[in-house]
Structure 1
């Protein structure tokens, strides 16, 4: 305000002080936030598998996403989900779905040891007879080893809980594992 050609000092001072303080408040940055970013997500890697197979009257489609948490350069623990559709023309159609928990150990950067507990629900519909359809749980405990290069590991795993009702053709399975 102008009084007799001069600014009213107390009112002008309060206005300038308010503008200065508010601009300082907006200019404040939390310097701790960039340094203390959530370390959890820096240690998480995502990966999984996609499978597609076709043959003479045979279809195999699978999707298996997974994520692991790296505790350090040697040990990681993760979870995965799995869905698989199998169909043999004029014989059966099957849906398998479930999850798994995996532990990884890298004694040296090139070698990866693994243990994976897998639980799958199996729904089998036999063609021609609904009375022969089956729904059951299948559990597998896989112990594996592989050669690791960067984000990829190639190796083999063995189901130590295999029995005559196993859903897999063999207790031994090769694998390629990739995490980004």
Structure 2
């Protein structure tokens, strides 16, 4: 539990630090938005995970944003190592300047290897995330976002992911 708390705090501090740099660059008169997230995880059996998820959006209206999001994730433990790339479109609807609803279609490409047997496998998986959350202004049209998404295409026995639910913490500049 303590490792999860430390990982979460590291994530929040990293996002806030990076977003402060982006806030100072000024994007107030522009319809483009920029942001993303950073994840870091630790666990038993020397488990380590690093994830980076950049995003670029365009404000179609003041409440509707569309764009593209990508991600790359590296995982390793005593038993396996894997790399995952994902890319796809997203759309967010903002209301009351504090809440959002969103959809995100991701195509994932996963490469994994078991360390002891040398068994390698490649897998592709499509995910359609639907959800929403809360966002807090951190100044100069920059926001930190907290949300929950659910992959409506997730199937327990055939998915590489352990669950369809995904919590999210990220930032966006330009709203």
TM-score calculated relative to the size of structure 2: 0.73
Which residue is 2:60 aligned to?
Answer: 71
The superposition leaves residues 86-126 of structure 1 with CA deviations (integer Å, 9 ceiling, x where unpaired) of: 1121x110000121211001243222000000111000111
What SS is found at the alignment partner of 1:98? Answer: strand
| Superposed displacement of residue 153, structure 1 | 2.0
Q: Which has the larger radius of gyration?
A: 1
Cα pair 2:38 2:170 within 8 Å, conserved:
no
| Superposed displacement of residue 178, structure 1 | 1.0
How many residues are matched?
A: 139
| Superposed displacement of residue 176, structure 1 | 1.6
What SS is found at the alignment partner of 1:79? Answer: strand
Q: Write 1 or 2 for the structure with the bigger share of helix.
A: 1
Query: Which of 127, 131, 147 is the equivalent residue of 1:140?
Result: 127
Show the 5 A alignment for 1:30-69: 42-56=30-44, 57-69=46-58
What SS is found at the alignment partner of 1:138? Answer: strand
TM-score calculated relative to the size of structure 1: 0.72
Tell which has more relative contact order, 1 or 2 (C-alpha 8 A, sep 6+). 2
Show the 5 A alignment for 1:97-116: 97-116=85-104
Note the aligned Cα RMSD (angstroms).
1.7
Which residue is 2:153 aligned to?
Answer: 161
The superposition leaves residues 42-95 of structure 1 with CA deviations (integer Å, 9 ceiling, x where unpaired) of: 111111111222233111011111111111111000112211011121x11000
Unaligned runs of 5+ in 1: 1-40
